[in-house]
Chain A
Amino acid sequence: MKPAPFTYMRPENLDETVATLSQHGADARLLAGGQSLMAMLNLRLVEPSVIVDISRMPELNAIKLRKGMIEIGASVTQSELLAWPELEAQAPFISKALPWVGHFQTRNRGTICGSLAHADPSSELPLALALLEGEVVLRSTSGTRVLKAQEFQSGMLQTARADDEIITAVRFPAGAGARGTAFREVARRHGDFAIVAVGVIARDDGTLRIGIGGVADTPQCIEMNADAGPDEVKDRIEHLAWQLGGFDDIHASARFRRDLVRRLAPALIEEVRACAV
């Protein structure tokens, strides 16, 4: 199908962008890579009256390392981050999960921040944000605010971003998961949305952080001591699997999703322990 009519605006800089958003509010949608939004426009799942194109804005196109964080600008594509020479050392979890985001052709356009803004519970990048305890930088005409992952991701396809705000960047703690990191996903086809995605990282304080995507409305995380015995691991994961409150859909039953969590999470915990030093 084709999109419904809209007015297209391409601001030159961030100031013009926030001014445009302030004027149009909920009637406007930001277009970065368009790998979620363009599909929704074509299917007429959304019919905004104004499209604000930020895909060519140079000031949003940077990957920076500063104050112990990796800051990724709003127009940085998934392919650009994958090609960043520091990725494996600074963000080993993202380096493992990013090849699972869509396909080569969609990663060439799709942005990191756009995927977070779309907030699909089965996407890999919202899981990375929750697991690594990243933060999202939002800007409007009234200023800048920074939200923690759990404040930002409020529900299925929902975030705490206000209508007049733009996500200018996302920040991940540099080196998180360098002590051990594992990622696994089950989908009908590589590149499709995850039925279940699991991530585990070993942290500096001797704990493990385990995150699950694809089951609850938002990615859910728990922590446990790295030396937890098999019974404790089993009990905690069992509790988590039920707590996620999965649902049946065309791709998988809630029971199948719980089973995947029960099997994948302990296996990934072992994998992280094996590589942790």
Chain B
Amino acid sequence: MRGVTSEDPVPVTIELNGRRRSGRATARTLLTDFLRSELGATGTHVGCEHGVCGACTVRIDGVAQRGCLTLAIQADGRKVDTVEGLSDRKDALTVLQQALHRNHALQCGYCTPGILMSFSDFLARNPNPGEQEIREVLGGHICRCTGYAGLMKALMEAAAEMRGEPPQKSDSELAT
């Protein structure tokens, strides 16, 4: 049996975006705080801290879930993917990121990392989603700049492009 007593920090090792990373956590340290404060991976955002807003969504062993409803110690030895791991270069955004960019699907960007982590899992498992299904998954995120219309357009486009359909042109490309 693994046991961690109260406030004594213990080593926790995860595979963060493909790299082995270690830090220390107490029994009650949340995965979000471990990522941000201990490993410096601040791309994962913290909103409501009770699972409602979706800003903290990360992938654990490939599956999108709430970082704030996970103890750091529960992630020990597992693969954790965050927004930092989607693309390693500024000029090499993923199809999903490009679609958000093209459709102005973010304003302040606080909710964006969580949405990217949800849909990178969802679209990989459901390559041919209907609008209603995308709407339902997006319902697990709160955007207070209300960029939902842009997000819906971007997510539909990204799904189509990931299926191999031709990419959409951006407004600026169409203008020239």
Contacts and interface: CB of A to CB of B under 8 A. Distances in A.
B28 A2 contact: yes
Contacts, number: 109
Interface in B100-133: 118, 121-122
A42 B32 CA distance: 12
- The winner among B6, B51, B64, B137 for most chain A CB atoms within 10 A is B51
A13 to B, nearest CB: 9
Interface string A84-117: 0000000000000001001111101100000000
How many residues of A sit at the interface, in one of the four size bands? 35 or more
B65 interface: yes
B51 A35 contact: yes
Contact of A39 (B1, B64, B69): B69
A30 to B, nearest CB: 14
Contacts of B7: 5
Nearest to B10: A8
A91 B65 CA distance: 26
A20 interface: yes
B27 interface: yes
A20 B1 contact: yes
A222 B69 CA distance: 37
29 contacts: A5-B6, A5-B7, A5-B26, A6-B6, A7-B4, A9-B2, A11-B1, A12-B1, A38-B50, A38-B51, A38-B71, A42-B50, A42-B68, A42-B69, A55-B74, A79-B63, A103-B140, A104-B136, A104-B140, A105-B65, A105-B137, A106-B51, A106-B69, A108-B64, A108-B65, A108-B121, A109-B65, A109-B66, A190-B139
Interface of A: 1-12, 16, 20, 34-35, 38-39, 41-43, 51, 53, 55, 79, 99, 102-106, 108-109, 189-191
Interface of B: 1-7, 26-28, 30, 33, 49-51, 54, 57, 63-66, 68-71, 73-74, 118, 121-122, 136-137, 139-140
5 closest Cβ pairs, A-B complex: A103-B140, A8-B27, A38-B69, A39-B50, A10-B2
